[in-house]
Amino acid sequence: MAVSVPILAIVISLNLIAFIFAVGAERRRSKAKVVNDEYDEHTYCVYASDASTVYGLLAFGLLLISQTVVHGVTKCLCFGKGLVTGCSTTVAIFFFILSWISFLGAEACLLAGSARNAYHTKYRGVFGTNDLSCATLRKGVFAAGAALTLLSLLGSVLYYWTHSKADTGGWQKYQNEGIGLATSTFPHHQQQEQHHQQGDEFQKV
């Protein structure tokens, strides 16, 4: 199987867009501040925009599509016709594992960050008695997802590249075996023809 430029372009584009959304989600994390109610002695949390949740979910979806494309084309290394043993196959397996580990880590960060960012504190505290704690997402969750997205991009591209190299060797091996079989049977046919010719000459005599 040769390397497909459109497949590489799709995978790289989806991962880079997912990375941009993850960075945007980190920058637009929902922040909150405690505000005193002007009508009674209570406090409540006022949250900023939830754009970070939307960005995180978009990055999650794009990364999932990219991973599906790569492992759909290569049949996830498990359901194909098999690869030729050698250095290319070993490297392909390594990048296969790296791709999945980084992918799962990135998806976990993006999904957990989006869910946590969307959560808003729904209770109040009595002003002057209890300090109200407004739940917000910790800094760095989406940033970790963005970093793992880039690592997943690297692993996916290199896995696809090395898988294609190892996969093309299968046809070459089959061809070589076919050539060897043909050359081994050719002398046998020559011997049979010589025996037939000798038999015909003996009958004529």
Q: What's the farthest any 2 CA atoms get from each other in the chain?
A: 130
**Per-residue pLDDT, 143:** 95
Residue 115 has pLDDT above 80, yes or no: yes
Range of weakest confidence among 36-40, 57-61, 101-105, 106-110: 36-40
**Per-residue pLDDT, 40:** 66
Residue-wise pLDDT tens digits, 172-203 = 444 444 444 444 444 555 555 555 555 554 44
Residue-wise pLDDT tens digits, 10-35 = 999 999 999 999 999 999 888 887 77
Mean pLDDT, the chain, integer: 78
Residue 72 has pLDDT above 50, yes or no: yes
